[in-house]
């Protein structure tokens, strides 16, 4: 996984402030230690968060780790199991 401790802590702390029960998973190229570059791709499973909270989360994380591209897929537990793309990504993702 190509995130440092500061980045991981920022993601987890910012998410906990918005929804303490949410789960966050890293997927995509940042899960491959041998790949280079890439944005931070996250799947957040939350029963509470909407678009406003998602944008607030992204802004808060960027304030702490700097201006990096952060892509967030926001879903619920039920929706994540029904969506083939999300299910596939979660099967390979790293829970933070």
pLDDT in tens, 24-64: 999 988 887 777 777 999 999 999 999 999 999 999 999 99
pLDDT in tens, 54-86: 999 999 999 999 988 999 999 999 999 999 999
Determine contact, residues 94/31, Cβ cutoff 8 Å: yes
The set of residues, in sequence order, having a beta carbon less than 8 Å from that of 50 and lying 6+ positions away, is 74
pLDDT for residue 30: 86
What domains can be seen in the chain, in order of their start residue? Answer: 5-95 (3.30.460.10)
pLDDT for residue 60: 97
pLDDT for residue 10: 97
């Amino acid at each position: 996984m190509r995130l440092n401790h500061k980045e991981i802590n920022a993601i987890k702390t910012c998410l906990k402030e918005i929804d303490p029960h949410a789960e966050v998973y890293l997927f995509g190229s940042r899960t491959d230690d041998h790949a280079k570059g890439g944005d931070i791709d996250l799947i957040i499973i939350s029963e509470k968060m909407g678009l406003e909270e998602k944008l607030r989360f992204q802004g808060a994380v960027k304030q702490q780790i700097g201006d990096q591209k952060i892509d967030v897929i926001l879903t619920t537990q039920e929706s994540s199991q029904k969506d083939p793309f999300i299910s596939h990504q979660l099967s390979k993702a790293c829970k933070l």
